[in-house]
């Protein structure tokens, strides 16, 4: 019996391969001790505190973390 992969399976495999790479990068960050709290502190050095999501010049804690993660190349 021959089993053929569907396009959906191929796309899932493609995504899985990219996620493994991304997870390995995140794992390295964890192993080196870089935490979400570190990212928030780092990102907050270039923004002011927002009392909502932020507007570019201001940022909430999670947005500040995203800024730092982007700056370090963890996410694009």
Residue with structure tokens 């495999």? Answer: 13
Alpha carbons 15 and 42: distance in angstroms, whole number:
30
Q: Are residues 14 and 4 in the same domain?
A: yes
Burial (CB count <10 Å: 0-12, 13-18, 19+), residue 41: middle
Q: Could you count the other beta carbons within 10 Å of the beta carbon of residue 45?
A: 9
The confidence score (pLDDT) of residue 20 equals: 77
Residue 23 lies in domain: 1-33
Quickly state the pLDDT bin for 68 (edges 50, 70, 90). very high
Quickly state the pLDDT bin for 26 (edges 50, 70, 90). confident
| pLDDT above 60 for 70 | yes
Q: Are residues 19 and 1 in the same domain?
A: yes
Q: Are residues 29 and 44 in the same domain?
A: no
Q: Are residues 27 and 55 in the same domain?
A: no
Alpha carbons 58 and 44: distance in angstroms, whole number:
9
């Amino acid at each position: 019996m021959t089993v053929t992969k569907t396009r959906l399976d191929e796309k899932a495999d493609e995504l899985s391969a990219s996620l493994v790479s991304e997870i390995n990068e995140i794992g390295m960050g964890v192993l080196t001790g870089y935490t979400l709290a570190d990212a928030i502190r780092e990102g907050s050095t270039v923004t002011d505190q927002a009392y909502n999501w932020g507007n570019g010049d201001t940022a909430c804690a999670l947005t500040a973390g995203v800024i730092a993660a982007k700056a370090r190349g963890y996410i694009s």
